[in-house]
């Protein structure tokens, strides 16, 4: 154990200076009294940086060709590629950080892909395939995944309102769209995917109430202090 000649105190460990007077201390070194705490190593940080560098470098090269080397009038597809690459990097970052929450990730992915599809459709002249076909399919898949997560996750009671609100939030989209189309007289065969999504929304919501109604009720009582 080391000793400070000025403060007359004994200091353990491998310190070279007195913590009180900051003078040099004498004596043999000892092992550390407390375990050394090392920050958690982010194993996937380098992988994410490499992927981000490669993708963004490819986007920059493509944008240079798109804007500088092609002289004929054309749509700048590099803007669409940039939007999809940025969205993919955001989602990859969330996955690599292991901040995985089933309902939240599915809902975030639904909003992200839906926005990108509408932007891509609008960029190419808006043919309507994004809203009439792809987005209702994505909403249906989201509702089914939410229903599966509700039974797969062991902590359903803690997240009961999350599952239910997600189901209602996604399921309200077909209601609004079909109500608007009925009001404007545009209900046609293009609305079939939304009708299917509406049916899936009602069935999954009913399933959550029937099979997990007790957990939902207990969660509501806890949240509302009933």
| Angstrom distance (rounded) from CA 10 to CA 219 | 57
* 194, 178 contact by CB (below 8 A): yes
Least confident of 62-76, 145-159, 195-209: 145-159
Q: What is the pTM of this model?
A: 0.66
Whose structure tokens read 């609305």? 191
Whose structure tokens read 């209702």? 136
Whose structure tokens read 């749509």? 75
Q: Is pLDDT above 70 for 154?
A: no
Q: Is pLDDT above 90 for 29?
A: no
Q: What is the CA radius of gyration of the chain?
A: 29
Choose among 39, 14, 38, 40: nearest CA to 27. 14
| Angstrom distance (rounded) from CA 205 to CA 166 | 10
Query: Percent of the chain beyond pLDDT 70?
Result: 79
CA 67 to centroid of chain Cα atoms: 32
| Angstrom distance (rounded) from CA 169 to CA 138 | 14
Q: Is pLDDT above 80 for 58?
A: yes
Give the pLDDT of residue 195: 83
HSE, side-chain direction, 13 A CA sphere, residue 35: 3
Helix (H, G, I), strand (E, B) or coil at 24: strand
DSSP state of 33: S
| Angstrom distance (rounded) from CA 110 to CA 96 | 19
DSSP state of 27: S
| Angstrom distance (rounded) from CA 131 to CA 67 | 30
Q: Is pLDDT above 80 for 152?
A: no
Q: Is pLDDT above 90 for 8?
A: no
| Angstrom distance (rounded) from CA 117 to CA 121 | 6
* 143, 201 contact by CB (below 8 A): yes
| Angstrom distance (rounded) from CA 197 to CA 205 | 12
Give the pLDDT of residue 157: 47
């Amino acid at each position: 154990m080391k000793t400070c000649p000025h403060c007359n105190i004994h200091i353990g460990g491998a310190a070279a200076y007195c913590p009180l007077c900051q003078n040099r201390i004498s004596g043999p070194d000892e092992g550390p009294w407390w375990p050394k705490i090392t920050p958690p190593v982010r194993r996937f940080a380098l992988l994410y940086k490499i992927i981000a560098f490669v993708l963004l470098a490819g986007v920059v090269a493509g944008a240079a060709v798109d804007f500088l080397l092609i002289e004929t009038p054309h749509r700048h597809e590099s803007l669409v590629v940039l939007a999809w690459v940025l969205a993919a990097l955001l989602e990859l970052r969330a996955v690599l950080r292991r901040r995985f929450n089933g309902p939240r990730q599915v809902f975030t992915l639904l909003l992200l892909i839906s926005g990108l599809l509408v932007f891509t459709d609008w960029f190419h002249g808006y043919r309507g395939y994004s809203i009439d076909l792809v987005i209702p399919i994505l909403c249906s898949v989201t509702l089914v995944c939410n229903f599966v997560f509700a039974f797969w996750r062991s902590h359903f009671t803690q997240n009961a309102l999350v599952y239910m609100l997600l189901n209602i939030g996604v399921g309200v989209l077909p209601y609004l769209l079909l109500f608007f189309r009925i009001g404007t007289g545009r209900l046609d065969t293009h609305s079939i995917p939304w009708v299917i999504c509406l049916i899936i929304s009602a069935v999954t919501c009913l399933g959550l109430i029937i099979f997990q109604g007790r957990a939902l009720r207990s969660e509501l009582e806890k949240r509302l202090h009933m």
